């Protein structure tokens, strides 16, 4: 009889401690740790910490013809600790967001304009792929490789939400070819020949 009462009391204590703070606006002057940023002093918090007005069209004049405009903790301190964030995705004609992962977040995309091919690869290497049209929504589970491609003849626009205020990102192409990883290691692990590896390193800024 004592044990169930103790467990219930412990649960109530833990629940109340989780709700001790209404929010934890990020103090961007402090270092970011694994748990996020430290909380800004309550007397310094204003309504502007909970508003973000920067989801404007991004510059797609780049190699991938795409732009991601984030509203993560670093840009939007009010989402710190809330388990949510959002970004705008602009894809010019021919634009692509290459295979990438978000190690700390699942993702949902909603297409606002245009046609987008999107998909992800499960840990069993099964591909889940669909052509999305205006109003369509797709979810990408946390940590899995996924991509988006403008499949239409006009620019595409989408909004992307995340289950983390700082979802993190690793783009596969840049992880392989955009750094100083020796070419022979890449060739052995990807089965690409030397000419292909050097070409991709040249395109993506690797050495």
Tokens found for residue 201? 């390193």
Tell me the two tokens of residue 5: 């009462």
Q: Is 100 annotated as contributing to ligand binding?
A: yes
Q: Enumerate the β-bridge partners of residue 148.
A: 97, 118
Task: pLDDT tens for the chain, 207 residues: list them.
Answer: 454 444 444 444 444 434 568 999 999 999 988 878 999 999 999 999 999 999 999 999 999 999 999 999 999 999 999 999 999 999 999 999 999 999 999 999 999 999 999 999 999 999 999 999 999 999 999 999 999 999 999 999 999 999 999 999 999 999 999 999 999 999 999 999 999 999 999 999 999
Secondary-structure class of domain 55-168 per CATH? mainly beta
* Beta strand spans in the chain (E): 66-71, 85-91, 96-101, 107-113, 116-121, 127-132, 137-140, 146-150, 156-162, 170-171
Whether residue 43 is annotated as binding a ligand: the answer is: no
Residues in the chain: 207
pTM for the whole thing? 0.86
Distance CA 117, CA 167 (A): 22
User: Is 102 annotated as contributing to ligand binding?
Assistant: yes
- Residues of each domain in the chain carrying CATH 2.60.120.10: 55-168
Query: The tokens of 133 are what?
Result: 């049209």
> Residue 52: CB partners within 8 Å, gap ≥ 6?
71, 75, 76, 78
Q: What phi, psi does 108 have (nearest 5°)?
A: -125, 135
**How many other CB atoms sit within 10 Å of the CB of residue 92?**
19
Is 56 labeled as ligand-binding?
A: no
């Amino acid at each position: 009889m004592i044990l169930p009462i103790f467990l219930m009391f412990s649960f109530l204590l833990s629940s109340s401690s989780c709700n001790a703070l209404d929010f934890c606006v990020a103090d961007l002057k402090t270092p970011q740790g694994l748990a996020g940023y430290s909380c800004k002093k309550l007397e310094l918090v204003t309504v502007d910490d909970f508003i973000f007005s920067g989801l404007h069209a991004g510059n797609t004049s780049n190699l991938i013809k795409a732009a991601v405009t984030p509203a993560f903790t670093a840009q939007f301190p009010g989402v710190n600790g809330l388990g949510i964030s959002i970004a705008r995705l602009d894809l010019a004609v021919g634009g692509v967001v290459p295979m990438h992962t978000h190690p700390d977040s699942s993702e949902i995309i909603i297409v606002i304009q245009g046609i987008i091919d999107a998909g992800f690869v499960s840990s069993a290497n099964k591909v889940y792929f669909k052509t999305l049209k205006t109003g369509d929504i797709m979810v990408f589970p946390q940590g899995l490789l996924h991509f988006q491609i403008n499949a239409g003849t006009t620019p595409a626009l989408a909004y992307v939400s995340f289950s983390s205020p700082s979802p993190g990102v690793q783009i596969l192409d840049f992880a392989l070819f955009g750094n100083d990883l020796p070419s022979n290691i890449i060739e052995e692990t990807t089965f690409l020949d030397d000419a292909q590896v050097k070409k991709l390193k040249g395109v993506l800024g690797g050495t």
